[in-house]
Structure 1
C-alpha cells in the first residue's frame, strides 16, 4: 500500500450499485475518499475508481467478511454510509409478521450489523463517522408505508443513542433524511403480501401520489451531496435533510400544530378528512 493510499480516507457505502448508493459512492470518490461499495449482485458496469465488495447486510458472515476485506486492503475505515434498504407499500394490516421481520432485517438490523462490524476498527483508531440514510418518513406518519416508516423511525432512535455512546471515541453518528428521490426505489418497493379489499382504493390513491412525487423528486446526486457534507463536517449536526421537499417537511413537522399537520398530510395523500 502506497503512502498516499494510507493517508486517503476510506469509506464503505452499502447498496452502492444504483440510486442513492451509487451517487454517494461517486460523490465521495470525487471528494477524495477511497470508496468500497457493497453489493448483493455484482453491478453490470461499475463506477470507475470504486472498489466493490460482496455483502448482504442481512447476513452476519458476509458483513464481517466485507469489513475484513476492506481493512485488509485499506488498513482503516473512516466512514460508513448505511444506505442499503428496501421499501414496502401497503396498509400496515396487509403485511404478515414474516414480511415485517424481513423488512426490518434490511432497514434496521442491516444498519446495526454493519455498524457493529466497523466500530472496533473506528474505536481503535479513535476516529470515524457513520452516516445512516434515514428518511423524512422517519419523522412523520406515512400512510400505506407504515412498516417502512417504522423501520426509519427505529434507525433515527438507534442513531441518536449510539452517537452519544461513541463520541468519547472520536466517532460521530449522523442521519441524512431524503424525501422522495428520483430512483427506482418506489417502483422496486415490495407489495404487501396479504392484500385486504377494504384498503384497495385508499392504497391505490397513495400509490398514485407516491408515483407523482417520485417523478418530480430530487435526483440522487442531491442526497449524495448531503452525505458528503455530513461526512466531512468538522462539527456535524445530528440530522441533515436532503433536498428542498425534505427540508420543508421537517420544518412543518417541527412548527405546525399537530392537528393542522395531520389534516395537511391526509389531504396530500388523498385520504378522507
Structure 2
C-alpha cells in the first residue's frame, strides 16, 4: 500500500548514528526504511522497516530502491549514512583497502543517489542528505584515505545539488565531529603497518578515540540530520554539534599556517 506518510530511506540504519537518525525522522513524522548488510534477527523500532542492502552492489541498490518505491509509493528523503573508517598512514594502507573504502563511502553514495533520482524527478521533489564529517573539510592525519572519501562526498554533493535543484531536489551535507556512536568499532586497521609510523599513529589514533568517546551525543547529530531533511530552505552544509561548528568556522577564517600548527598540536605530531 502506498504510504500517506513521507518516507525516508536511510542506509546503515541498524546501529550507531543511523539508528538515532531513524528514530529522529520517525518522531518528525516519517516512515523510515532502514538498511543493513544483514537484517537477520534485528528488531527495528516502531515506524522503521529494515531491508537488506549492500551499497557496493549495483543490483542490491537497484532492487532495494525499486522495492521501496513499489511498496511505499514514494521516497521523500534519502540519507546516505552507510560508511566505514580506515586508520593508518597512507603508506600503510594497501590499494585494496582504499578501494574498498571508496566503494562504500563514495561509490555507495553515488549508487544510491543515481537509484533514487529518477523517482524524485518524476515527483519533482526530494531531499538527499549525505553524511560527511569534519574530516571532509579539514585534514585527518593517519586517516588520509578516509578524509579523501569525505572530501569527495563534499565536492560531489555540492555539484549534484546544482544539477538537480531545478527538478525540485536538494542535496545537502551533515558534518559530524566526534560523536559517541562507536565509530572506532567500524574503523579498519592498516594492513601493512610500518614501524616508522607506529609511534605517531598510536598518538593520533588515541586523539581520535578520545574525541569520539568524549564527543557529541548522537541525538545532537540526529537532530542536524532531521533539520537537513526537513528544512524548507536547506543550507548546503550542516556542521553537527558545537565542536563541528567551531572547527568549520575556524577552517574558513583562521590563516592556514595557524590552523596547520594547531592541528599538529592537537594530534600530537612531531615537527
**When the two structures are superposed, what TM-score results if normalisation uses the length of structure 2?**
0.98
With 77-86 and 211-220 compared, the bigger mean Cα shift is at 211-220
Instruction: Please give the residue correspondences for 1:1-273 in structure 2 after superposition, counting only pairs within 5 Å.
Output: 1=1, 5-6=3-4, 8-42=5-39, 44-273=42-271
SS in 1 for 2:26: helix
SS in 2 for 1:176: strand
Structure 2: gaps of 5 or more residues:
none
Deviation at 1:53, TM superposition (A): 1.1
Q: Hey, what's the Cα distance between the residues in 2 that align with 1:215 and 1:67?
A: 34
Q: Hey, what's the Cα distance between the residues in 1 that align with 2:42 and 2:113?
A: 27
Cα shift readout 1:25-52 (whole Å, capped 9, x = no counterpart): 1100110011100110215332222011
Which contiguous aligned blocks of 4+ residues in structure 1 show a shift greater than 2 angstroms? none
Q: Hey, what's the Cα distance between the residues in 2 that align with 1:222 and 1:56?
A: 27
Cα shift readout 1:155-205 (whole Å, capped 9, x = no counterpart): 000000000000010000000000011011123300111111100000000
Q: Hey, what's the Cα distance between the residues in 1 that align with 2:94 and 2:214?
A: 32
Cα shift readout 1:202-221 (whole Å, capped 9, x = no counterpart): 00001111111111101211
Cα shift readout 1:249-270 (whole Å, capped 9, x = no counterpart): 1011001000000000000000
**When the two structures are superposed, what TM-score results if normalisation uses the length of structure 1?**
0.97
Structure 1: gaps of 5 or more residues:
none
Cα shift readout 1:87-120 (whole Å, capped 9, x = no counterpart): 0110011111111100000000000000000000
Aligned residues: 270
